[in-house]
A = this chain, B = another copy of it.
Amino acid sequence: MKLVVAGSAALDTIRTPREVHEDTLGGSSVYASLSASFFSRVALISVVGEDFPRKYLKVLRKRNIDISGLNMLPGRTFRWEAAYDGNLEHARTIRTEINVFDGFTPSIPYTVGGNSNLLLANIDPGLQNYILKKIKPSGLVACDTMNLWIERDLKGLLKLLKKIDIFLINDAEARQLSGEKNLMDAARYISSKGAGMTVIKKGEHGVLFFNKGLCFTSPAYLVGKVKDPTGAGDTFAGGMMGYITGKKKIDTGVLRRALVHGSIMASFAVERFSADSLARIGPEDIRGRYKEFRELTRF
C-alpha cells in the first residue's frame, strides 16, 4: 500500500516579525508528502515550472518520494507571499502568482494509483474531484481544504465530501462551513455531509476527531519556539495519512495514533522555515517526540 498525495507545489516567501525567507520550498502536497514519507511509500501529484530549483527535487527524491506525477510545465512555479502577525497566528497574503497552476490538468502516470490511499491536500476542489476520479484509489481517501474554497466553490467541495472518507479542516473553517459555533456540532454536521470521519485542526490547541464510532481529542505537542507555521496543517495531514497507510489494519487505535503522529510532524514543521527542513529530521526524532507526547498527556 502506498499513499498518493495530490496538491500544490510552491515557492513561498514568508515574512515573520523577525525574519524573511524568499522562494522557500512550499505547497500543500510538498509538506504533506515529506511528512508522510517517514511512515509509508509516497507518490506525489502536482505541478512546478521550469524555474523550480533542482535542489528541491533532490530533497523529495532523497525521501524516496515517487515524483513521476510531479508535472513540470513551461512557465513559473506557483508562488505565495505572506506576512505573519506578531503571534504567528494569522498570515496575511501579500501576493499570489498562480503561474503554472492556471488551467492545470495533471498528467498522471499509470504507475501512480492502484493499491493506494489518497490524500487530496489543499487545492481547488475541482482539481481534487478530477484527481480522485482519475486515481480510483483502492483504499481511504482524505481531503483537506481552506476557507478560500468554501467561499469560491462550496458546490464542488460538498460534491467531494460525499466521495471521501476523512475530511480535514481547521476550526474557523469548520464553523464557517457548518454554521455551527460548537466544534462538536460542526464536526457532526460535516460528518453527516458524507465524509464520515472529520478532523478539526485547532493549531496550537490540537485536534478533534469525530465519526460515528469514535470521538478523540488530542492537544498539540508543545513547541518552545515557533518560527513559521506555514504548512503545519498540510504536514499534519501527511503525517496522519502516512501513518495510516503504513499500517496493515486500520482500527480505532491506529486512527488515534495517526492523529498524534500528525501533530508530532506538524510540531517539526513549525520549528523551521521551508518544507525541506522536514527532510532533516530522522525516525529517532519522531520516536523521541512520541515518547514525550505520551509523558505530556498521560494521566
Contacts and interface: CB of A to CB of B under 8 A. Distances in A.
Contacts of A296: 215-217
Interface string A226-256: 1000000000000000000000000001001
A18 to B, nearest CB: 12
Shortest Cβ-Cβ A-B pairs, 8 listed: A205-B205, A256-B299, A217-B219, A260-B299, A87-B181, A184-B222, A257-B299, A219-B219
Contact of A256 (B86, B226, B298): B298
A220 to B, nearest CB: 8
A218 B297 contact: yes
Contacts of A215: 222, 295-296
6 contacts: A86-B181, A87-B181, A183-B204, A184-B222, A205-B206, A217-B222
- For A183, A215, A260, A296, the residue with the greatest tally of chain B CB atoms inside 10 Å of its CB is A296
Contact of A224 (B185, B259, B295): B185
- For A205, A208, A226, the residue with the greatest tally of chain B CB atoms inside 10 Å of its CB is A205
The DSSP consensus for interface residues of chain A is: mixed
A202 to B, nearest CB: 7
A217 B297 contact: yes
The complex is assembled from copies of this chain, and their number is 2
A222 B202 contact: no
A184 to B, nearest CB: 5
- For A204, A253, A297, the residue with the greatest tally of chain B CB atoms inside 10 Å of its CB is A297
A255 to B, nearest CB: 9
Given A184-B223, A216-B299, A297-B297, 18 more contacts: A88-B181, A182-B223, A182-B224, A182-B225, A182-B226, A183-B222, A184-B222, A205-B205, A205-B206, A206-B206, A215-B295, A217-B222, A217-B296, A217-B297, A256-B298, A256-B299, A257-B299, A260-B299
Nearest to A204: B183
Interface of A: 86-88, 181-185, 202, 204-206, 208, 215-219, 222-226, 253, 256-257, 259-260, 295-299
B219 A206 contact: yes
Contacts of A204: 183
Nearest to A260: B299
- For A87, A88, A182, the residue with the greatest tally of chain B CB atoms inside 10 Å of its CB is A182
Contact of A205 (B202, B257, B295): B202
A239 B119 CA distance: 43
B218 A219 contact: yes
Contacts of A219: 205-206, 217-219
Contacts of A202: 205
